[in-house]
Structure 1
Amino acid sequence: MVHDYRTIGLPALLSFHTVARLGGISAAADHLGMAKSGVSRHVSQLETHFSVKLLERGARSVKLTPVGARLDQRIRSILAEMDLLDDIAREESGGVSGQVNLATTPDFGSLLASTLLPAVRQRHPDLSLVMQAAYHFEDMQDPNTDLAFRIGTFQDDRLVVKELGHFRFWLVAAPDLPGRHHLKAPQDLKGLPCLTFRDDKPETTWTFFSPENVSTIKVDGPFASRSFAVLHDLALAGEGFAFLPEFMLGEALEQGWLVRCLTEYVSRPYPVFLTYRPGARRIARVDATATLAEELIPAVLSSH
């Protein structure tokens, strides 16, 4: 059977994608400024057209069926391409302006805010940035995300991926803490108060690399959090040893609020990637932001 795709309207695709993203008919209707009946009608149109069930409807929320989830992935790409066409046409008659949506981790987001934002404001005063900061990776096929910064290993054949540089983790503490505990090697951290990046329990393992060897140590302590910023503040308060990204530590080390411990021991290098959808840089505002990131971020990372 050959479907007549001219009968599928973009409003129906947008309604279904919004339901999938927000998890409910009501939430999608509020977001789109539509009546619930209109959103439901759009979803029903798609289900009728493809002769499949796209949603499992519950009392308060909906869940995508397997085929609904696959269809939503493709709809995201279609909507992203429509946004791309609109942006290209609009920017042909004007300069670099509008909004660029970024996705990154909270802590790397602080580095972007202090490095990228001032440069954007200086070179492109009509351009604004909106940052979504989270430790989970958002799907870059979402048309609401223009650029994403990923940490560690990353592979997605649907995306353009460029490595900007790398950073390491350094062991730090308040100035009086290392001397009190006579810290000379990673093994000496056993039994000492360590501030760990966890959200389920305080125990974890830290792996240290030195020119001579690799040491993996089990550590524990009084506090754990899935926020390096929180661990940074606790280290400043003298609550324990913290293993933190080096790009977070510049001011604290310069001012003497923290000191590096076991300076010959660091983590493995963690690469930083800039990712975006193919064709996204045909949009002037996205290309301008990406160009500044490629210019500024490697220099910041290599300075540590």
Structure 2
Amino acid sequence: MDLFVSMRTFVEVVQSGSMNAAAQRLNVTSTLVGQRIAALEGHLQVKLLNRTTRQQSLTDFGETYLDQCRDILEMVARSEGTANDEQLTPRGRLRIAAPVSFGTAALVPMLKVFSDQLPDVEIELVLSDANEDLIAGGIDVAFRIGRLEDSSLLQSQLAPYKMAVCAAPSYLAQHNMPESPDDLDPFRAILFSKTGRRPWRFSSGKAERNWTPNAIFSVNSGQAVREAARAGMGIAMLPEVLVQKDFSSSALVRLLPEWGLPEKPMSLVYHRDRYRPQRLVKFIDFARETFGKR
């Protein structure tokens, strides 16, 4: 038994949430992963994982041993890598999760830049407006929009997520251009169904206004809201990053530019591990630089 390989496998099984997920990330069979864990438990003469057909959990000793494995593997990585750090080429799979609109409009174009810098890293992007569980989903790093609950995950604050109210020129031709939120009552709204008919909150200096949208259409996709707005169905509140090109091409017109909308905090979250592969370290640095606070 290769003790270090078995220890790495054990850490990966815990981080990935299952032996099958660990096998995919390690590019080996799930049978081999199971054999390594069994060999490690046999070597230690103690059980590390409680396993059922549906889930797994660490034993009390397994929790302690996991921290020890991470410390040992970190020291090994440092001793192997420090001297030749400049020659190391990050490689392997990096699994990233992001909200659909942000991921499609902002992240995907920048992943080309990251991929050009690290061509040996395989990127797997998971787009979902649900907050993916990093362990259960085998996620290395995730972008999160909105307030974060207390978590064992590490968090890096990025630039806030900004929203804009907009409409197509064809729709605006039927209405007078609004000068304040008080002028929005005649307008029909296209809604993102996840947020529903929550009031849109506007502010300008010390002035604040709430407007409850009169919906004509709702859908559970930000991209579909954008297409409906471009088609002239009504006004929409959309992420700026999703409609910047539409503003430039005049396919959509920004409404009430002097009235601000609440910004949503955006964060990068990742495991609280002492040892991180270079591909993850490099991506965290890249994301902070690309989407950091402005």
- Aligned counterpart, 1:176: 170
TM-score of the pair, normalised by structure 1? 0.69
Give the Cα–Cα distance (whole angstroms) in 2 for the partners of residues 229 and 186 of structure 1.
24
Residue 3 (structure 2) aligns with = none
For 1:210 and 1:285, the matched residues in 2 are separated by: 43
Query: Which of residues 121, 143, 149 in structure 2 aligns to 1:127?
Result: 121
Distance 2:187 2:260 in 1: 18
Q: Distance in 2 between matches of 1:125 and 1:211?
A: 47
* 1:139 counterpart = 2:125: no
The C-alpha deviation readout for 1:197-242, integer Å capped at 9, x for no partner, is 115x963321122223222221132211221111011111111101
Specify which of 187, 197, 203 is matched with residue 197 of structure 2: 203
AA partner of residue 196 (structure 1): L
Show structure 2 runs of 5+ residues with no match: 1-5, 39-45
Consecutive unaligned residues in structure 1, runs of 5 or more: 1-8, 43-48
Give yes or no for the alignment of 1:112 onto 2:99: no
TM-score when normalising by structure 2? 0.71
What is the letter of the counterpart of residue 268 of structure 1? P
The separation in 1 between residues aligned to 2:122 and 2:156, in whole angstroms, is 23
Query: SS at 1:230's partner residue?
Result: helix
- Structure 2 residue aligned with 1:4: none
- Separation in structure 1 between the aligned mates of residue 275 and residue 247 of structure 2, nearest angstrom: 38
Change (3 A) 1:16 1:81: closer
Q: 1:143 to 1:236 in 2, by over 3 A?
A: closer
CA contact under 8 A between 1:151 and 1:273: conserved in structure 2?
Answer: yes
Partner Cα distance (2:288, 2:179) in 1: 39
Note the C-alpha offset of 1:69: 11
| Separation (CA, whole Å) in 2 of partners of 1:119 and 1:125 | 10
Match of 1:252 in 2: 246
- Asked if structure 2 preserves the Cα contact closer than 8 Å seen for 1:121 and 1:127, the reply is yes
Distance 1:285 1:228, change over 3 A: same
Tell me by how many angstroms 1:15 deviates.
8.5
**Alpha-carbon contact 2:188-2:234 (below 8 Å) kept:** yes
Q: What does residue range 146-165 of structure 1 map to in structure 2 within 5 Å?
A: 146-165=140-159
CA distance in 2, matches of 1:210, 1:118: 38
Q: Cα deviation per residue 1:73-123 (whole Å; 9 max; x = unaligned)?
A: x79x88x959x7698879978411112111110111121111x31221221
Contact 2:143 2:269 (8 Å CA) reproduced: yes
How large is the RMSD of aligned CA atoms in angstroms?
Answer: 4.3
Q: Deviations over 1:41-85 (max 9, x none)?
A: x9xxxxxx99xx987x9xxxx699xxx7999xx79x88x959x76
Q: What residue number does 1:227 align with?
A: 221
Task: After TM superposition, give the deviation of residue 153 of structure 1 in Å.
Answer: 1.0
Q: Which residue of 1 aligns with 2:259?
A: 265
Corresponding residue of 2:180:
185
**AA at the equivalent of 2:158:** L
Q: Which residue of 2 aligns with 1:291?
A: 285
Shift of residue 297, structure 1, vs aligned partner: 1.5
Q: C-alpha separation between the residues in 2 aligned to 1:102 and 1:205?
A: 32
Task: In structure 1, give the amino acid aligned to 2:242.
Answer: M
Identity of aligned residues (%): 21
- CA distance in structure 1 between the partners assigned to 2:15 and 2:267 by the alignment: 27
Partner residue in 1 for 2:42: none
The verdict on how the C-alpha distance between 1:227 and 1:163 changes in structure 2, with shifts beyond 3 A counting, is same
1:213 aligns with 2:207: yes
Once the two structures are superposed, the pairs formed by residues 59-138 of structure 1 within 5 Å of their partners are 94-110=88-104, 111-114=106-109, 116-138=110-132
Instruction: Work out whether residues 281 and 287 of structure 1, in 8 Å CA contact, stay in contact via their aligned partners in 2.
Output: no
Q: What does residue 41 of structure 2 align with?
A: none
* 1:12–1:154 Cα change, 3 Å: closer
C-alpha displacement of 1:253: 0.4
Do 1:204 and 1:220's aligned partners in 2 also have CA atoms closer than 8 Å? no
* Secondary structure at 2:126 match in 1: strand
